[in-house]
Structures are given as structure tokens and as C-alpha cells.
Amino acid sequence: MKEALGMGDNLSTYVKDLWRSAVTNLAHLIWLLRNAAIFNEKKVDNNKIKVTLLALVKEFCCLSQSSMHNTVTDLQIILKLGVSTRARPTPCIKSCRWILPWYEEIKLNCDSSTMENPGKAGLGVIARTQTGDVLRVKTKGMGIMNSLEAECFAIMEVLSWAIERGWKKVWIEADSSTAVMSFNAKEVPWKHRTKWVGMTIFLLPFASHPPGRKGIFQPIKLPRKGVRYRAMKRKTLWDLLVSLLGLKNLWLTILEFLSM
């Protein structure tokens, strides 16, 4: 039975599902016909077995969510079975863009990869300046981990690397939304929590970026904690004028009068 089911492993996922359905249903029909022949003394009708098996395969065809390959072999098998074709879904093409970091800011794009889940894991990170020049590139093996643990470990490794290089203002991006949300919500995994709190003392929190700076990667915001580092806030020219003159209400009144 196991060998018969494994004969469809080299086929497309749709034909593989049909093959497994045919094998399991055929085994069940043989068992029913055996009992009918032994206990009820009924004769085996090969044509009835074929019709019943094809009906069961067609019924399973509506339940399968897989897709077929556009090959001659798949088309011939589907034609012989008399089932409907199942084309591969149209790829969804999304546009994305990589945006430069701010002045005197280092952008660190990191990602991890695992052979299995869990399995052998590794990370890669690239550091760029505000002009797009590549500063450093780093790769490292991380041993046996699951995918989420590997993403969190990669982010922590990037922070350690930034501290070693003396980069104070960093913008870290990773493609795992779960890992990024846990760091931004200060819900760092307990294995890295103590190290995370210690490393944020040496780094300046980067300013929040304006809307639209989004892509495949998601930024990680360093926590604004303590007084050991100064929060960075970019003010517009209007905010600077108002703060210097101290006449915010007067200016607003004048603008409202002119707009009437």
C-alpha cells in the first residue's frame, strides 16, 4: 500500500491527489467485494468496480485544492480519468521599493533561512549608508532552530554587530512580521530579553519614518527607554519658527484670517 501511494510522488500535486484517492478507494472496494464474495456469495463485477472507482475519483476532484502542471503527461491522465483541469493560480505581482536611510543613519537588512522547521539555520545581513553604499556584509550559521527562533536570533545578531561597529543610529529591517511585531511591542522572546535590554542602552532610537516608507521588510523601532540616549525628533521649518517665536496661537489666528 505504501509503495502504491508513493508512485505518484513525481507527479503534480493535483494528479498526486487523484492517484492517492484512486489507490485508497480501490483498496476499500476490494475489501467490500471480498466480504460480499465470501459471506454473500456474490460474483465480482469488474465493470462495476471501474465505474464506482471513477465516480469516487471525480467526487474527490472537487475537494482537491492543488494545481496541475501544463505537461502532456498530466493532460493525458486527466483526460483518461474524465475530471476537470486545475490550472495553477495566477501569480500576484506586487511592487516594492528599497528606500535609503536618513542622514547619518545605517540601514541593516537582515534575513534568516532554515533547511527545515526545525533545521539547520543561517543568517545574512547587509549594511548601507544614506547614499546607498554598502558598508559591510555578514553571514553566519546558527545551528538547529525553527524559523521564528532563527528570525529573532538574526535580529539580535544584527544588534550585536551594530554595537561592535560603533553604529549608534541604525534602522533594522526584517521580513518576518511576527518577529518584528514582538520586538516593537517589547515582547522579545525570553531567551533574548536580557540581552535586548542591555544592547538598547548603546543605541540611539531612530526617528519614526513618514508614511509610505514600506516594502517587503519591516522596520524595528528601538525602545525609548531611560535618559542615557537622546530621542531624535525631526522638526519642520514651521515648527522651528513657532518654537522660536513662541507665538503659535497668534500665527494660527493670522493664517485663519488670511484664509477667509
Same domain, 26 and 132: no
199 lies in which domain range?
A: 106-220
Same domain, 110 and 213: yes
Q: What are phi and psi of 50, to 5 degrees?
A: -65, -45
pLDDT for the residue numbered 230: 35
CB atoms within 10 A of CB 146: 13
Grid cell in block for residue 159: 544588534
Single out the residue of 127, 105, 133, 129 nearest to residue 234, CA to CA.
105
pLDDT for the residue numbered 203: 67
pLDDT for the residue numbered 66: 86
pLDDT for the residue numbered 99: 84
pLDDT for the residue numbered 219: 56
pLDDT for the residue numbered 37: 84
Grid cell in block for residue 174: 526584517
3-class SS of residue 125 = strand
Same domain, 216 and 247: no
Could you say which residues of the chain have pLDDT below 70?
202-260
3-class SS of residue 173 = strand
Question: In this structure, is residue 17 part of a structural domain?
Answer: yes
pLDDT for the residue numbered 141: 92
Question: In this structure, is residue 91 part of a structural domain?
Answer: no
Question: In this structure, is residue 111 part of a structural domain?
Answer: yes
| Burial class of residue 90 in the structure, from the number of CB atoms within 10 Å of its CB (0-12 exposed, 13-18 middle, 19+ buried) | exposed
Q: What is the pTM of this model?
A: 0.49
Question: In this structure, is residue 225 part of a structural domain?
Answer: no
pLDDT for the residue numbered 228: 34
Q: What is the CATH number of the domain that holds 214?
A: 3.30.420.10
